[in-house]
Structure 1
Amino acid sequence: MKVLSMRVIAGSAKRLQLKTLDGFDTRPTTDRIKETLFNMIAPFIYDSVFLDLFSGSGGIGIEALSRGAKEAVFVEKSPQAMTCVKENLKTTHLESGAMTLTQDVMSALYRLEGEKVFDFIFMDPPYNQGLERKVLEYLSESHLVYGDTVIIVEAARETEFSYLEELKFSCIKEKVYKTNKHVFIEKAGKEEIC
């Protein structure tokens, strides 16, 4: 493990450095993109329940906790990456609000069913493997999501989400970067802009 230029941007753990894994098995969201993302959702983070799927080194969920989220659940199947998440939680003194699940995302969703309801669900799956669609198909029928849950998918820029309507979801916002994008999704009924 090594420290790249990844840090907590704001809140109780502001400026603390986060560890990331060597190599490309995990692809940490850059500080600039993370800052843009949290600028968009900052007013709604305080006291929220946050789910960080495919959490890698945990930077997104930790940012949410640092900014006042009541709880964050981190799901990551790689034991090495989860060790990194736990070290980062310890460094930032945010362990008390965290739940960690070292398992496959679909298994974790089944496990959480009936136990939690999330205000935010963030996922950053490996690109171009269709994993975001598999998760969204599950969430479309899940009690983990309620009318105001915001699902944020980080995906390759070319990933298309034309199937959202058939899953009874709406794309409410899309923020495109150089090589990737954030797609903001809610239950159908909200104004669709994508």
Structure 2
Amino acid sequence: MASFRGLDIRPTSDLVREAIFDLIGQDFTGAKVLDLFAGTGVLGIEALSRGASRVLFIDHSAKSIKLIKRNLSLCGMDLSGIALKRDLAKGMPWRHPLLKQRIDLVFLDPPYRKGLILPLLEALCEKKILASSSIVVAESSKNEMLPESVQDLQKFKTRVYGETKIDIFKSGGNE
């Protein structure tokens, strides 16, 4: 896959990506996925390679969106992924057709120490777009603390890899 050169980005390392999928499972057949603050799109593309049917990639950078589209094309997944340019600090694109369906898996990998994870978790719950068994993976600095629960989401795993912390939440069922 293509990657960034010289841009201010912190892509998920191979070690952390492998650890995430070891923690959340390997088979996502038919899953609908959100990859928020997508960067290179590596997490969403990995989910597609494990059977996900659709991934909506969102990032504020036009260069990221271009790179995600290139990576989808290189992997032969152009028809399964949608890359959307949006500043998530200003809110989610709730009118997007994929967000009218129940989402099975969400990756949240915002810039560290910006306080963006909790408001997005709350918004995902309030809009009731998460499937009854959704998994939400939040990547943050090891020093950032997230609550044990956010509305219908319950934290069930936390792991630290160097400076990176992974918090995994499961939906308690809102269908």
Normalised by the length of structure 2, the TM-score is 0.88
1:24 positional shift: 4.9
2:169 alignment partner, SS class? strand
1:123 positional shift: 0.8
Identity among equivalent pairs (%): 29
Residue 129 of structure 1 corresponds to 114
Residue 47 of structure 1 corresponds to 30
2:94 alignment partner, SS class? helix
Counterpart-to-counterpart distance in 2, 1:156 and 1:145: 25
1:161 positional shift: 1.1
User: For 1:31-62, what per-residue CA distance to the aligned partner results, in whole angstroms no more than 9, with x for missing partners?
Assistant: 11111111222344122111100000111101
Matched, 1:186 2:170: yes
Return the index of the structure with the highest Cα Rg.
1
Q: Cα RMSD over matched residues?
A: 1.9
User: For 1:113-140, what per-residue CA distance to the aligned partner results, in whole angstroms no more than 9, with x for missing partners?
Assistant: 7522210010100000100012112112
Pairs aligned (count): 171
Matched, 1:25 2:8: yes
Counterpart-to-counterpart distance in 1, 2:44 and 2:149: 28
Residue 152 of structure 1 corresponds to 137
Residue 6 of structure 1 corresponds to none
Q: Unmatched 5+ residue regions in structure 1?
A: 1-17, 190-194
8 Å CA contact 1:101–1:108 kept in 2: the answer is no
1:188 positional shift: 4.7
2:119 alignment partner, SS class? helix
Q: 1:128 to 1:103 in 2, by over 3 A?
A: same
Picking from 40, 52, 58, the partner of 1:69 is 52
Picking from 66, 80, 84, the partner of 1:97 is 80
8 Å CA contact 1:112–1:144 kept in 2: the answer is no
The structure showing larger relative contact order (alpha-carbon pairs under 8 Å, at least 6 residues apart) is 2
Normalised by the length of structure 1, the TM-score is 0.80
Residue 59 of structure 1 corresponds to 42
Counterpart-to-counterpart distance in 2, 1:184 and 1:144: 17
One-letter amino acid of the counterpart of residue 92, structure 1: C
Counterpart-to-counterpart distance in 1, 2:33 and 2:44: 7
The ranges of structure 1 where at least 4 consecutive aligned residues each deviate by more than 4 angstroms after the TM superposition are: none
Residue 171 of structure 1 corresponds to 155
1:133 alignment partner, SS class? helix
Counterpart-to-counterpart distance in 1, 2:152 and 2:23: 23
Counterpart-to-counterpart distance in 1, 2:23 and 2:150: 26
